[in-house]
Amino acid sequence: MRKDVLIIGGGATGAGIVRDLALRGVECALLEMGDYCHGASGGNHGLLHSGGRYVVTDPPSAMECAKENAILRRTAPFCIEGTDGLFVSLPGDDPSFADPFLKGCKGSGVPAEELTAKEALSAEPGLSAEALRCIAVQDGSIDPFALVQANVDSAREAGAMVRNHCRVTDMVLEGGMVVRVKALDRRSGEILTIVPEIVINAAGAWAPQVAAMAGCEVAMGLDQGSMLVVDGRLCGHVVNRLRPPSDGDITVPNHTATVLGTTSRPAASPEDVAPSRNDMELLLRETSAMLPALRHCRVVRAYGGVRPLPGRGGRGASRTFSLITDERAGNLLSVVGGKLTTYRLMAERVSDQVCNALGARAGCRTRTEPLGPPADEAGGSVALARLRRKYGFKATTVSLADQRMLCSCEQVLRAEAQMVLAGPDALTLSDVMRRTRAGMGYCQGLDCALSLQELMMEAGGTEPLASLTEFLEERERGQALASGDQLRQEVLRRHVLQGVYGLGERE
Ligand SMILES: Cc1cc2nc3c(=O)[nH]c(=O)nc-3n(C[C@H](O)[C@H](O)[C@H](O)COP(=O)(O)OP(=O)(O)OC[C@H]3O[C@@H](n4cnc5c(N)ncnc54)[C@H](O)[C@@H]3O)c2cc1C
């Protein structure tokens, strides 16, 4: 199969690139080995950065975040909550940090305003009464799964071929150019051969492995970060600690939950994502200093991701991005680093370079063109309002004829799962969960897993038992860290899975 451009990796960066190029009329394909967001794009904090976090330590990244934040709020409102954010300092924090922070905001174009403690408490009543200085910024919360899927949908509409569960396994070189790329499609077992003019390596933390297939090197630091999900929204704003970036600094309200994060340690491989008990304790301790009610909340999940950082990685590494070429494979371009918040900008820069090389003149459209048409007018039923919040303009494609509930924690209708199962992307139960949120809530799929499996079997889904086991194991990640009351709940959960559902002993 001939393509002008093959993109390897279906995280935010790859999905952004395939959309940008397809909108410019370039014939392109994207292959992703897992589901979209299998890597860091699904294992992150979900913070739409205002740039505030980087104004003192990494101003170029702060500027990129500030500009992209404004663009995404305009073009992708269906997957963003414009919560705004607060940076707060507590007793013990360096009181002299707030002034360079405010100066940095001004210098980097990050809108910021200092509030009095009284104003801050009235804006965010759960805030610690000990908060000393408080600066309001334009942080937000973003749903990466919805964002990436919308890029994929838009790219397909513009003519791109996009496939998940399709792993690139080999590259064949001739005369210092990649001439063929082979991939294994998990659905059909088929080996695909693509003959591309240009190959984009957007494989995140796997970028060095993908580059190695072409005999090239990409220097990258792998950095693991952990997050906790607590049930319920414990804050209305994103709440950040006003100090140099360190562990346990940020709480992000997201859908029905609050996400606490993050940590930073060197990762041994892109799969080295597991959080430790220490991470969990640290995150609860540090974030509850800002929002004391967090001490008494139920942690429903712990998860992690690996940051693909240029150079040696670590907290000190810049969060900007680089485009890397290598004369050993003249038509391979690797893109590394960056943030979820800046994925669109990364895609624009890559696409500009690709279009130059191809001699294509079309300019970037993603800065202004909405990511999918706006949702229909407000109004209609409660169910429709909920669907609009989750799917934007696609809400009306969910049939409301059958309003039976599939997942009561996240209020997901069976019809939503049926819509996803009728599409081209869902191979496993986890794929349905990422698109509908079924199984992401309080009980982490305990209640809906079997019904979901039944729907998959009705839709002719493959390997239903393997898919169910994968789903439950994935949902269990982090539960093993539970202690006290949470451990009691975990024992009950295991009893239901093993004793009632008969799913047997699992590690
Ligand atoms: C702990 C943590 C917290 C973060 N928090 C935030 C935040 O709050 N806000 C923010 O803006 N950014 C955040 N980030 C950064 C952000 O998540 C990443 O910069 C971004 O998601 C990277 O996207 P990507 O597409 O480049 O990489 P990835 O999402 O990792 O995508 C790479 C993809 O390539 C695929 N792939 C690899 N090899 C192959 C192959 N051989 N064939 C086919 N496919 C392949 C992988 O399966 C993967 O899906 C965070 C990151 C981490 C780890």
Q: Which amino acid is at 482?
A: A
Nearest CA to ligand 1 atom 9: 47
As a whole number, mean pLDDT of residues 48-73 equals: 96
pLDDT of 373-402, one tens digit each? 666 666 678 888 888 878 877 888 888 888
Nearest CA to ligand 1 atom 31: 11
Gap between the Cα atoms of 387 and 295, Å rounded: 32
pLDDT of 372 above 80: no
Cα of 12 vs centre of ligand 1, distance in Å, is 7
Bridge-based pairing state of the strands 85-88 and 134-137: antiparallel
As a whole number, mean pLDDT of residues 405-432 equals: 93
Residue of 175, 181, 184 whose CA lies nearest to 195: 181
User: Contact at 8 Å (CB) between 371 and 80?
Assistant: no
Instruction: Write the CA distances from 230 to 87, 258, 292, 299, 445, integer angstroms.
Output: 21, 5, 13, 4, 15
Please list every protein residue whose CB sits less than 6 Å from any atom of ligand 1. 8-14, 31-34, 38-41, 43-47, 49, 167-168, 202-206, 210, 225, 262, 305-308, 338-341
Cα of 159 vs centre of ligand 1, distance in Å, is 24
DSSP notation for 330-359: EEEEEEEE--STTHHHHHHHHHHHHHHHHT
pLDDT of 447 above 90: no
Q: What's the pLDDT band for 418 if we cut at 50, 70, 90?
A: very high
Residue of 384, 434, 220, 215 whose CA lies nearest to 306: 220
507 CB burial (10 A radius; 0-12, 13-18, 19+):
exposed
Range of lowest pLDDT (172-186, 294-308, 390-404, 429-443):
390-404
Residue of 288, 314, 83, 332 whose CA lies nearest to 220: 314
pLDDT value at residue 362: 93
Q: Where are the alpha helices (DSSP H) in 124-193?
A: 144-157
Q: Output DSSP code: residue 496.
A: I
Residue of 151, 163, 197 whose CA lies nearest to 365: 151
* Ligand 1 atom index nearest CA of 337: 19
pLDDT of 478 above 80: no
Q: Which amino acid is at 60?
A: P
Cα of 306 vs centre of ligand 1, distance in Å, is 7
pLDDT value at residue 482: 66
Q: Output DSSP code: residue 93.
A: S
Gap between the Cα atoms of 46 and 482, Å rounded: 23
Q: Which of 32, 181, 271, 477 to mutate to test the pocket of ligand 1 (most atoms within 8 A of CB)?
A: 32
Residue of 89, 138, 133 whose CA lies nearest to 112: 138
- Partner residues linked to 134 by β-bridges: 88, 115
Gap between the Cα atoms of 335 and 321, Å rounded: 7
pLDDT value at residue 507: 45
Nearest CA to ligand 1 atom 10: 340
Q: What's the pLDDT band for 152 if we cut at 50, 70, 90?
A: very high
Both tokens assigned to 320: 């900007």
* Ligand 1 atom index nearest CA of 38: 49
As a whole number, mean pLDDT of residues 441-452 equals: 87
Cα of 42 vs centre of ligand 1, distance in Å, is 7
Bridge-based pairing state of the strands 220-231 and 238-241: unpaired
User: Contact at 8 Å (CB) between 284 and 247?
Assistant: no
121 CB burial (10 A radius; 0-12, 13-18, 19+):
middle
pLDDT of 156-188, one tens digit each? 999 999 999 999 999 999 999 999 999 999 989
pLDDT of 506 above 70: no
Cα of 161 vs centre of ligand 1, distance in Å, is 21
What is the chain's mean pLDDT, rounded? Answer: 92
pLDDT of 254-274, one tens digit each? 999 999 999 999 999 999 999
Q: What's the pLDDT band for 351 if we cut at 50, 70, 90?
A: very high
